[in-house]
Amino acid sequence: MTNASHTDPYPHPAGGWGSVKEVGAALLTEGVLFKGGGLMLHQNKTEGYACVGCAWAKPANPHPFEFCESGAKATAWEITSKKIGADFFSQHTLAELRTWSDHELESVGRLTVPLRWDPASDRYVETSWDAAFAAIGAELRPMAPGSVVFYSSGRASLETSYMYQLAARMYGNNNLPDSSNMCHESTSVALPKTIGVPIGTVVLDDFEQADCIFFFGQNVGTNSPRMLHQLQEARKRGIPVITFNPLRETGLLHFANPQSPADMLTPAETQITTQYLQVKAGGDSAALMGLCKALIEADDAAQAAGNARVLDAPFLAGHTSGFDDFAGAARATSWLDIERESSLGRADLETAAQTYARAERVIGIFGMGLTQHRHGVQNVQMLSNFLLLRGNIGKPGAGICPVRGHSNVQGQRTVGITEKPELAPLAQLKKQYGFEPPRHKGLNTVTACEGLLDGSVKAFISLGGNFLRAAPDTDVLEPAWGKLRLSVQIATKLNRSHLVPGAVSYLLPCLGRIEIDRQASGEQAVSVEDSTGCMHGSRGRAEPAADTLRSEPAIVAALARAMLPPERFALAPWDAWVADYAEVRNAIAETYPEIFHDFNARMWQPGGFRRPVPAAQRVWKTPNGLANFITPATLLEDPDQASPRDDVLRMFTIRSDSQFNTTIYNEDDRFRGIYGGRRVLLVNAIDIIRLGFAEGALVDVHGVAPDGIERRVNGLRLVGYDVPPGCIAGYYPECNPLLPLAHHAVESMVPAGKSIAVRLVKAAA
């Protein structure tokens, strides 16, 4: 990796010709155009395959090209014609591969054969599937169930995920952390308390009826670009979009639809955001409190003057609880505190509040900018409070819209991937399979890391993902990982987590979702749940990278056979499931009839079939049967880390438009105008001078945490950037060594990657 980067502001809209060029380049480099001409036409289509990129909703009437630049890159990356087998590994030791960058590792192509780590030569050597499972089973059978972790990244299908959670529970634990633990877990913890569902209430149709949109901490142009179609349509109707983000993100500023000839031939681009508020990282609770205060005080004034109410009084009276407390807190909060904590001005917040008050149907969209904070749960609840004030939940054109990350991360939770036993249908599993599911709390991402550090976790099974790079405290965790007795990695591409072996380590290559999956009953389909709670079928269309690959359901079933006592394994029809995934769907429907009845028939419904979301009908599945206002505990981002020292900066970690999480397609960040290197920090010019540096200087970044552990990332280059003073941005995963494991959201335990306390030090020569 290099830090010989340069910057070049990106003057163009998101989408547009730049996007078309990038899509072509991505397909070409990976040799995809030659592999199957019409493949991309099947992306996100009924009877086609669901994109392996983000989880944004797939419309019932898709565009001919229902994909975006990011999705095309993800597709090209998965079905690349590059591949590696045993030869590759005979040439490289793990020690050598550990010196490669994330980009270099994945770009060698698809894994094709099952591999066993040979400690004597420090190389992966080819093994047979049978030998691999025999050895893995021999390790797992005698282990204490509590010492084994079953991680999953949010890409695996509903079918695979259901089988995986059942295998883990039959093995004897609820140790099912998933990528959601680092992502939208704050949402899943926040919303059941406020509106009684763990997911959003908005569907695509709502975008057509909304008359105002509020956007918090989500980078739509890069991370869910297909949503730009809904936003563009909404903007063409003239509705206001108000954005809260410390960075002025290209996709949130303007968009040219690469699928519209008119947009491409004329310079006409759509302005997306009508009011852009560059909130300080971690300042959203304060900003939202400002909005709520403005609305509540305007309502007080309207009542005093006998004018029409500003708030939706009948809704507040008939549907909610906790309003008086919350309103009292809002009135009591000073504008001084709000302005200081959000770094936004009162006048701007009042303007935004007025726009909100004029609208009848408001959607609140959010992403990692709210969830990955010490007060991530509270941030989400503040957005919910704000929407409830005018009854903007549970009516058409309005609602709360968390934008999920991985393409099936929401669905995994729906079919039982959770470490929280109370969220899994344990009684039903007991009835359906005749075993006693474990009732104790399992490990989440943070507690699994703690277990790795204290040695209580002895085996780590990864269904996809790149845990070592995605998790916090990289430099602390990596050495601990080496103490594992067993590491089993099920993956499509080589990554860092595969290169830090335990005593016994296997790397098992699987089919991707875009590939044709042939089993005994013929070609199989799988299913996923999108961000709006709609379930879609997905059928692979590309020839597999190798005929030695196995599907994820087949691997999970073989794992179950290897690790479970035979009589326990016999309690579920694993072999029949692998032969025909429709049988897994029947089992899912039996476990969750309300959501998945007639699963096989409904999965190809255009636009997907939606799971019941009672809050969308104003039925509140909360303990008191009402929607709850929750008064925030504090507006300070992190009282624990409050430091009087003014050389401590608040770092937020970001993704570029050339990455999917830890998968780095290339080193450019076109939309932000950063080229040729990710080892940079985006810093306000005033801070650069104030701290005695010059633009372009190399710095070492030191973590500032009360635990006394030295955390560092060395040799980052300072780039003067339009970011609020006191905040700096750096790339994930490169900056993860600076993120302390203990610095995570209250209640949800999502690592607080959007506010890391750091100091900059002149780079050691």
Ligand X SMILES: Nc1nc2c(c(=O)[nH]1)N[C@H]1C(S)=C(S)[C@@H](COP(=O)(O)OP(=O)(O)OC[C@H]3O[C@@H](n4cnc5c(=O)[nH]c(N)nc54)[C@H](O)[C@@H]3O)O[C@H]1N2
Kindly tell me which residue out of 250, 414, 659, 666 binds ligand X, with binding defined by CB under 6 A. 659
Residue with Cβ nearer Mo ion (405 or 724): 405
Main-chain dihedrals φ then ψ at residue 607, nearest 5 degrees: 85, -5
Note whether 30 binds ligand X by CB under 6 A: no
Residue with Cβ nearer ligand X (372 or 505): 372
Q: Contact at 8 Å (CB) between 673 and 9?
A: yes
Main-chain dihedrals φ then ψ at residue 420, nearest 5 degrees: -95, 110
Note whether 753 binds ligand X by CB under 6 A: yes
Distance, in Å, from the CA atom of 188 to the CA atom of 285, rounded to the nearest integer, reads 18
Note whether 757 binds ligand X by CB under 6 A: no
Contact segment (CB under 6 A) with ligand X among 324-332, 489-497, 560-568, 671-679 equals 489-497
Note whether 245 binds ligand X by CB under 6 A: yes
Kindly tell me which residue out of 558, 613, 739, 757 binds ligand X, with binding defined by CB under 6 A. 739
Kindly tell me which residue out of 117, 124, 244, 356 binds ligand X, with binding defined by CB under 6 A. 244
Q: How many CB atoms lie within 10 A of CB 167?
A: 22
Kindly tell me which residue out of 292, 368, 389, 745 binds ligand X, with binding defined by CB under 6 A. 368
Q: Contact at 8 Å (CB) between 225 and 68?
A: yes
Q: Contact at 8 Å (CB) between 653 and 730?
A: yes
Q: Show the CA angle centred on residue 558, arms to residues 553 and 562, nearest 5°.
A: 150
Contact segment (CB under 5 A) with Mo ion among 155-163, 179-187, 262-270, 505-513 equals 179-187
656 binds, among ligand X, Mo ion, none (CB under 5 to 8 A by kind): none
Residue with Cβ nearer ligand X (59 or 251): 251
Note whether 160 binds ligand X by CB under 6 A: no
Main-chain dihedrals φ then ψ at residue 617, nearest 5 degrees: -105, 15
Q: How many CB atoms lie within 10 A of CB 708?
A: 5
70 binds, among Mo ion, ligand X, none (CB under 5 to 8 A by kind): ligand X
Contact segment (CB under 5 A) with Mo ion among 248-256, 401-409, 642-650, 734-742 equals 401-409
Output the CA torsion sign for 186, 376, 150, 106: positive
Residue with Cβ nearer ligand X (327 or 387): 387
**For residue 744, what is the DSSP state?**
B
Note whether 510 binds ligand X by CB under 6 A: yes
Binding mask 528-557 for ligand X (x = CB under 6 A): ------------------------x-----
In the bound complex, what is the minimum distance in angstroms from residue 55's beta carbon to Mo ion?
9
Note whether 55 binds Mo ion by CB under 5 A: no
Helix intervals (H) in 514-580: 552-563, 566-569, 574-579
Distance, in Å, from the CA atom of 176 to the CA atom of 171, rounded to the nearest integer, reads 12
Q: How many CB atoms lie within 10 A of CB 645?
A: 8
Q: Show the CA angle centred on residue 198, arms to residues 606 and 208, nearest 5°.
A: 45
Amino acid found at 725: P
740 binds, among ligand X, Mo ion, none (CB under 5 to 8 A by kind): none
What tokens appear for 64 in the block? 């001919």
- Torsion of Cα atoms, 48 then 52 then 56 then 57, to 10°: 20
In the bound complex, what is the minimum distance in angstroms from residue 185's beta carbon to Mo ion?
10
Residue with Cβ nearer Mo ion (408 or 551): 408
Main-chain dihedrals φ then ψ at residue 655, nearest 5 degrees: -105, 150
Contact segment (CB under 6 A) with ligand X among 39-47, 216-224, 597-605, 667-675 equals 216-224
In the bound complex, what is the minimum distance in angstroms from residue 725's beta carbon to Mo ion?
28
Kindly tell me which residue out of 59, 172, 240, 369 binds ligand X, with binding defined by CB under 6 A. 369
311 binds, among ligand X, Mo ion, none (CB under 5 to 8 A by kind): none
Contact segment (CB under 6 A) with ligand X among 346-354, 506-514, 585-593, 605-613 equals 506-514
Kindly tell me which residue out of 124, 216, 620, 671 binds ligand X, with binding defined by CB under 6 A. 216
Q: How many CB atoms lie within 10 A of CB 601?
A: 10
Q: Contact at 8 Å (CB) between 363 and 401?
A: yes
Kindly tell me which residue out of 367, 394, 397, 553 binds ligand X, with binding defined by CB under 6 A. 367
Percent helix, strand and coil across the chain, each to the nearest 5: 40, 20, 40
Note whether 381 binds ligand X by CB under 6 A: no
Distance, in Å, from the CA atom of 299 to the CA atom of 644, rounded to the nearest integer, reads 37
Distance, in Å, from the CA atom of 749 to the CA atom of 472, rounded to the nearest integer, reads 12
Kindly tell me which residue out of 376, 437, 438, 512 binds ligand X, with binding defined by CB under 6 A. 512
Kindly tell me which residue out of 405, 465, 509, 753 binds Mo ion, with binding defined by CB under 5 A. 405
Site for ligand X in 87-106 (CB under 6 A): 106
**CA distances from residue 347 to 55, 274, 351, 691 in whole angstroms, order as listed:** 36, 16, 6, 30
Strand partners, 651: 728, 756
Q: Contact at 8 Å (CB) between 83 and 58?
A: no
End-to-end CA distance of the chain: 18
Q: Contact at 8 Å (CB) between 355 and 204?
A: no
Note whether 740 binds ligand X by CB under 6 A: no
Q: Which residue is nearest to Mo ion (CB)?
A: 405
Residue with Cβ nearer ligand X (40 or 310): 40
Among 365, 390, 447, residue whose Cα is nearest residue 173? 447
**CA distances from residue 671 to 14, 420, 455, 732 in whole angstroms, order as listed:** 7, 39, 43, 16
What tokens appear for 333 in the block? 């909060």
In the bound complex, what is the minimum distance in angstroms from residue 404's beta carbon to Mo ion?
7
463 binds, among Mo ion, ligand X, none (CB under 5 to 8 A by kind): ligand X
Kindly tell me which residue out of 54, 55, 148, 183 binds Mo ion, with binding defined by CB under 5 A. 183
Q: Show the CA angle centred on residue 365, arms to residues 361 and 367, nearest 5°.
A: 170
Note whether 219 binds ligand X by CB under 6 A: yes
What tokens appear for 396 in the block? 């058409």
In the bound complex, what is the minimum distance in angstroms from residue 183's beta carbon to Mo ion?
3
Contact segment (CB under 6 A) with ligand X among 312-320, 364-372, 528-536, 622-630 equals 364-372
270 binds, among Mo ion, ligand X, none (CB under 5 to 8 A by kind): none
In the bound complex, what is the minimum distance in angstroms from residue 653's beta carbon to Mo ion?
12
Kindly tell me which residue out of 467, 506, 629, 671 binds ligand X, with binding defined by CB under 6 A. 467
218 binds, among Mo ion, ligand X, none (CB under 5 to 8 A by kind): ligand X
3-state class (DSSP) for residue 508:
strand
Kindly tell me which residue out of 107, 495, 622, 684 binds ligand X, with binding defined by CB under 6 A. 495
3-state class (DSSP) for residue 107:
helix
In the bound complex, what is the minimum distance in angstroms from residue 301's beta carbon to ligand X?
29
Distance, in Å, from the CA atom of 524 to the CA atom of 164, rounded to the nearest integer, reads 18
247 binds, among ligand X, Mo ion, none (CB under 5 to 8 A by kind): ligand X
Binding mask 385-404 for ligand X (x = CB under 6 A): ------------------x-
Q: Judged by CB under 6 A, how many residues of this single chain contact ligand X?
A: 60
Cis amide prior to 733 (ω within 30 degrees) = yes
Q: Is 692 exposed, middle or buried (0-12, 13-18, 19+ CB in 10 A)?
A: exposed
Note whether 40 binds ligand X by CB under 6 A: no
Binding mask 263-282 for ligand X (x = CB under 6 A): ----------------x-xx
Main-chain dihedrals φ then ψ at residue 494, nearest 5 degrees: -70, 135
3-state class (DSSP) for residue 254:
strand
Residue with Cβ nearer Mo ion (406 or 539): 406
Residues found near Mo ion in the complex (CB under 5 A): 183, 405
**Sites of contact with ligand X (CB under 6 A):** 53-54, 70, 106, 153, 155, 179, 182-183, 216-219, 222-223, 244-247, 249, 279, 281-282, 284, 367-369, 372, 403, 405-406, 463-467, 470, 490-493, 495, 510, 512-513, 552, 652-655, 659-663, 732, 736, 739, 753-754
